[in-house]
Amino acid sequence: MKTTQVQLASTPEGTPTEDNFSLVEVELPSLGESEVLCETQYLSLDPYMRSQISGRHLSGAVNPGQGMSGETIARVLESRSEAFAEGDLVRVMGGWQTHSIHAATEVAPVPSGDVPASYFLSALGMPGLTAYAGLIWQAKPQAGETVLIPAATGGVGAVAGQLAKSHGCRVIGIAGGAEKCRIATEELGYDACIDRLAGDVGEQLDALSPDGVDVFFDLVGGELLHQVSQRLKVGARVILCGMIAEYNAKERMPGPPPALWIIARATVYGLVVYDFESRRQEFVDAVAPLIDAGTLLVPEDMVEGLANAPALFCRLMRGENRGKAVVKVA
């Protein structure tokens, strides 16, 4: 049994290009006791993968010559575990490949229902859990508060923005380009969206919200975090979740002067989604009804074919994706 996989060919300097990846056929080992053979249906592409190929991510490094890792929705082709049967739909860290073998303990069932299976990689999956944990469990937004969401139409941002709106907040997005801003306000319900390519973000924020921001869900870091930290209301909450600004940098960037957070009496939370795995069902139970009701839309930027994964990932890294980046593999 063979799997076709995308490997890291070389560690990118700066923004990744398709040359940094290669498509390779690899022989799979034979299926062991308590293992399942999975056929990938959907592969999730996420910004954190840039940290993995730099060797800087909590979950570990991907080095040249190794297969790219990533979460997948897969179909069980063969099972040597009583927990799973042939044909079951599962969620697993299958990686950027067509087939994979896993211990049954590493595989989670995907609930059957009307929701597209790929949603368990986005609004009902890790990006959604990230948004929910940071916004609802950490920041605890109150009706009437002003919430600022960068990468407003991305996998995490789109869920966070719509959740904030459903909690009665005034929600301002930040996105790159007029079309993304249109999606944010016209489709996702943001009250306003700042085009970061169309002028100084701080000045645009001042115009939209002269009194500042109550909640900042930071997916970017760097200069943006500094600018927003100068514009926090007293009692603000800042969720430190992602650092898109430094994905292509060689060294970590310093943070904003702590005095800004003292002046705002801010509470700043470091968010790692893995810590909230035990509360996943609570999150699904809260968000699935919003999706069913059409209150929460799930924009997906989906391409077909594993061979197109590197191109989509590079688009994601250039900020050109529209919604959650997903590859339809099977």
- Residues in contact with a copy of itself by the rule CB under 8 A: 56, 58, 218, 221, 225, 240-241, 243, 246, 252-272, 275
CB of 76 to a copy of itself, least distance (A): 34
Query: In this complex, which beta carbon is closest to a copy of itself, that of residue 123 or of residue 219?
Result: 219
Residue owning tokens 């299958």:
94
Query: In this complex, which beta carbon is closest to a copy of itself, that of residue 47 or of residue 310?
Result: 47
d(CA 154, CA 272): 18
Query: In this complex, which beta carbon is closest to a copy of itself, that of residue 56 or of residue 182?
Result: 56
Query: In this complex, which beta carbon is closest to a copy of itself, that of residue 90 or of residue 160?
Result: 160
CB of 69 to a copy of itself, least distance (A): 19
CB of 136 to a copy of itself, least distance (A): 16
Q: What is the largest CA-CA distance in the chain?
A: 62
222 token code pair: 């760097």
CB of 229 to a copy of itself, least distance (A): 9
Per-residue CA distances from 249 to 4, 51, 315 (Å): 31, 10, 18
Query: In this complex, which beta carbon is closest to a copy of itself, that of residue 25 or of residue 275?
Result: 275
CA terminus-to-terminus distance, the chain: 16
What's the DSSP call for residue 31? Answer: P
Query: In this complex, which beta carbon is closest to a copy of itself, that of residue 259 or of residue 293?
Result: 259
d(CA 313, CA 15): 10
Contact 240, 140 (CB under 8 A): no
270 token code pair: 């470091």
CB of 33 to a copy of itself, least distance (A): 34
What's the DSSP call for residue 137? Answer: I
CB of 267 to a copy of itself, least distance (A): 6
Parallel/antiparallel/unpaired status of strands 35-44 and 72-79? antiparallel
Query: In this complex, which beta carbon is closest to a copy of itself, that of residue 264 or of residue 329?
Result: 264
Distance of CA 124 to the CA centre of its chain: 11
CB of 118 to a copy of itself, least distance (A): 27
How does 200-230 read in b/e, with b if 16+ C-beta sit within 10 Å?
A: ebbebbeebbeebbbbbbbbbbbebbbbbbe
